[in-house]
Amino acid sequence: MTAPIPAFAFESSTTRVPDEERAALIADPGFGRVFTDHMATVRYSSEKGWHDLKIGARRPIQTDLATSVLHYAQEIFEGMKAYGRPGGGAALFRPQANARRFQESARRMAMPELPEEIFLESVRALVRTEIDWIPPGEDGALYLRPFMFASEVFLGVKPADEYLYAVIASSVGGYFKGGSPAISLWATREYTRAAPGGTGAAKCGGNYAASLIAQAEAIRNGCDQVVFLDAIERRWIEELGGMNIFFAFDDGSLQTPPLGGTILPGITRDSIIRLARDLGVTVREEPYSIEQWQADAQSGRLTETFACGTAAVVTAIGQVKTTEGSFAIGGQSVGPLTQRIRAALVDIQRGRAEDPYGWVETVV
């Protein structure tokens, strides 16, 4: 039996951005600065459960300064994109996977688990409302940010009894500006992102807050992103601040760090493993050390490295810096396997290739 589709009450914004202004805003939106007219909201309380499902005008909310999330960071989020279809309309990519990861993040953060159908319908309803905000161009998409936070006004340290779940939407282009074909990474020795038993596999705001000092260090050292090593031996590569990582070798194989509780189980990562194997590429989910990475890059055994995620899509990595020096990867450009994987993924997401996996859900 399929679950009934939850009904979201709809109230149109009375302050919609005029068409011409919207067209100018989405012509070259960058990442995460252009927001649409509406948002989805759902409230939760221990007494009433999930209630008050709405699509309404995107507007600021009033918050008491004793609201629990502002003190103890009980907050989780998701990141996903709606893509324009070649003949019009829009589609989501593996939205059920985001819904399930949102539930897993909630469990880890002692929050109530949003039913999958409410998550899915909140996103679908918002995309249907905001389809005109999908930017043109090869990198253009409507980035969706479902999130939930403890909204109870209470300073005791305990899981809250009240939460607000919301989805906002942002017209986006590529995540990285600058147009360089390959990004550079700072491998931090001082800071780690996640430890066994911690929250590394959850998509909670606190993980990102804790990563910012290392990201700032990366920028100071002229790098685009930080790459984190494991918290125990400080040598096994885990992931970047907001992306997973893949390594390509001269025998045509790929390798990516295994999931084990300290890295985010990326949906792009999972999709790439599947796609690559179906393209005949051997993919290993095995630990890889920074020393080996450097040695292999220098010997030529390692030919390419790329980052992947919803925001980053598939982005080549050209250089790695540490406190002890730096090393270059391949030709510091987009290598052939990176290119092939990227094209295979993006063509499915954007409806240009067949989708034998049932990953794409047309929404409008």
Q: Where does this chain bind ligand PLP (CB under 6 A)?
A: 79, 239, 242-244, 264, 266-269, 309-310
Rounded (5°) CA angle 34-54-165: 70
Which residue of this chain has its Cβ atom nearest to ligand COI in the complex? 79
Question: Rounded to the nearest whole angstrom, what is the least distance from the CB of residue 145 to ligand COI in the complex?
Answer: 8
Among 76, 311, 337, 348, binds ligand COI (CB under 6 A): 311
The C-alpha atoms of residue 67 and residue 154 are separated, in whole angstroms, by 6
Terminal Cα-to-Cα distance of the chain (whole angstroms)? 24
260's contact among ligand PLP, ligand COI, none, with CB below 5 to 8 A by partner kind, is: none
Q: Which of 212, 206, 42 is nearest to 108 (CA)?
A: 206
Q: Which is nearer to ligand PLP, 55 or 172 (CB)?
A: 172
The least distance separating ligand PLP from the CB of residue 269, rounded to whole angstroms, comes to 6
User: Site for ligand COI (CB under 6 A): which residue of 173, 242, 330, 335?
Assistant: 242
- Residue 188, contacted partner among ligand PLP, ligand COI, none, CB below 5-8 A by kind: none
* Of 71 and 177, CB closest to ligand COI: 177
Based on CB atoms, which residue is closest to ligand COI, 201 or 311? 311
The residue (of 257 and 330) whose beta carbon lies closer to ligand COI is: 257
Q: What's the rounded Cα separation, in Å, for the pair 279 and 255?
A: 15
Nearer to ligand COI, 17 or 243 (CB): 243
Nearest to 55 by CA among 81, 33, 36: 36
Q: Of 271, 310, 319, 349, which lies in the binding site for ligand COI, with binding defined by CB under 6 A?
A: 310
Stretch that binds ligand COI, among 9-17, 37-45, 308-316, 326-334 (CB under 6 A): 308-316
CA angle 283, 289, 291 (to 5 degrees): 130
Closest CA to 118 of 197, 185, 40, 234: 40
Applying CB under 6 A, the site for ligand COI has a residue count of 5
Residues 73-102 within binding reach of ligand COI (CB under 6 A): 79
Question: What's the longest Cα–Cα distance across the chain?
Answer: 62
Question: Rounded to the nearest whole angstrom, what is the least distance from the CB of residue 351 to ligand COI in the complex?
Answer: 20
106 binds, among ligand PLP, ligand COI, none (CB under 5 to 8 A by kind): none
HEC profile of 275-297:
HHHHCCCCEEECCCEHHHHHHHH
DSSP string of 188-228, one letter each residue: -SS--S--TTSSTTS-BHHHHHHHHHHHHHHHHTT-SEEEE
Taking CA atoms, 335 is separated from 71, 237, 341, 349, in Å, by 45, 21, 10, 21
State in angstroms the smallest separation of the CB of 244 from ligand PLP.
5
Instruction: Quote the least distance from Cβ 311 to ligand COI, whole Å.
Output: 3
Q: Name the binder of 264 from ligand COI, ligand PLP, none, CB < 5-8 A by kind.
A: ligand PLP
Give me the half-sphere count of Cα atoms (radius 13 Å) on the Cβ side of residue 335: 24
3-state secondary structure of 25: helix
| Separation between Cα atoms, residue 79 and residue 98, nearest integer Å | 8
Name which of 8 and 175 has its Cβ closer to ligand PLP: 175
**267 secondary structure, DSSP code:** H
- H or E element in which residue 41 lies: strand 38-45
Taking the complex as a whole, how short is the minimal distance between the CB of residue 188 and ligand COI, in angstroms? 17
> In this complex, which beta carbon is closest to ligand PLP, that of residue 55 or of residue 307?
307
**Residue 267 partner contact from ligand COI, ligand PLP, none using kind-dependent CB cut-offs of 5 to 8 Å:** ligand PLP
Closest-CA residue to 263 (of 326, 196, 310): 196
Measured from the CB atom, is 140 or 242 closer to ligand COI?
Answer: 242
Q: Least distance in Å: CB of 31 to ligand COI?
A: 7
Candidates 84, 95, 146, 309: give the one binding ligand COI (CB under 6 A): 309
Tell me the C-alpha distance between 239 and 96, whole Å: 23
Q: Which residues contact ligand COI (rule: CB under 6 A)?
A: 79, 242, 309-311
